[in-house]
Chains A and B, each alone.
Chain A
Amino acid sequence: MSDPTEAWLRTLSHSLRDLPVKTQTDIQAEVRAHLADRREQGFSAEQALKGFGDAAVFARRFRADVTFDEALAQTHWRDLLAGLLSAIGRSVTAAIALVSAGLCALLAVRIAGLFGEKLGLLGAEPLPFVLPDIGFWIYPAYILLLFTLWLAARLSLKLAVTSLRMDPAQ
């Protein structure tokens, strides 16, 4: 089996890219030193990496610590910009995810209304698009569509919260 260390470190490096350069270098050097020590103690690459978990999740715990204060403490314009973009990126992702969840919910309500109308339970406004006429199969199709929208809304909300959460380790 090939050594997974370099691939793990590449993911780490990629995931840390919006941190100040010195912080990135320090974290990577420290992790490399730790892994080298463990290998010298006789651990396999997999055993040495196990405690770090997923490289992207590990990196996020450091990224979450990058605040505006830290960005302002940097002297290089690139580090200032990286701190700012990181914060903006989190907010934009959360906003897009929240809008997406809202749209899913709205569409689900419209489809549920249409479903109700088909069953003679409710009146409903027509959808802004035409669903194909597939006879009886329209009912399972409605249910599948509603389930998919529910899943999409839930996933969007989760993404919104995750992107804003400051420290996933806590």
Chain B
Amino acid sequence: MYKGVLELALMSLLEDGAQYGLKILDSLREGAGLDLAEGTLYPLLHRLEKAGLIAAEWRHEASASHPRKYYGLTPAGTAELKDQSETWLDMTTRLNRFLTRRRP
């Protein structure tokens, strides 16, 4: 389940615009509060890229001393994000209602 949450949070982040690995890592840690390690993130990016949900390109920015690999959401990724978001929100709403059923 955690893997699914990571994927969802990652795709949601990339919906705001393309990002490179380190920025994605820090944003997911700080923004989503996910305990994510480099050793988990990069293979996940690789897998999502292979699945066609995200696409990568190397960019050499003037502000950086080296090229960085940027990841952006593909149209297939956008559709997948919409599906997964709806499922997640529906599931958490139901679960929250169930878990708090005895509270006044």
Residues of A within 8 A of B (CB): 26-27, 29-34, 36-38, 40, 51-53, 57-58, 61-62, 65, 70, 167, 169-170
Task: Chain A residues near B3: list those with CB within 8 A.
Answer: 170
CB pair A27 B46 closer than 8 Å: yes
CB pair A33 B66 closer than 8 Å: yes
CB pair A53 B22 closer than 8 Å: no
The listed residue (A32, A53, A70, A167) touching B39 by CB distance below 8 A is A53
B44 to chain A, nearest CB (A): 8
Query: Complex formed: what's the CA distance from A48 to B61 in Å?
Result: 22
B69 to chain A, nearest CB (A): 5
CB pair A52 B66 closer than 8 Å: no
Task: Chain A residues near B69: list those with CB within 8 A.
Answer: 26, 29-30, 33
Query: What 1/0 mask marks residues of chain B from 10 to 38 whose CB sits below 8 Å from any chain A CB?
Result: 00000000001110010000000000011
B42 within 8 A of A: yes
Specify the main secondary structure of chain B where it touches its partner: helix
Inter-chain contact count A-B, CB under 8 Å?
58
B76 to chain A, nearest CB (A): 17
B41 to chain A, nearest CB (A): 8
CB pair A27 B42 closer than 8 Å: yes
The listed residue (B43, B50, B58, B65) touching A169 by CB distance below 8 A is B43
A164 to chain B, nearest CB (A): 18
CB pair B68 A33 closer than 8 Å: yes
B47 within 8 A of A: yes
Query: Complex formed: what's the CA distance from A34 to B65 in Å?
Result: 12
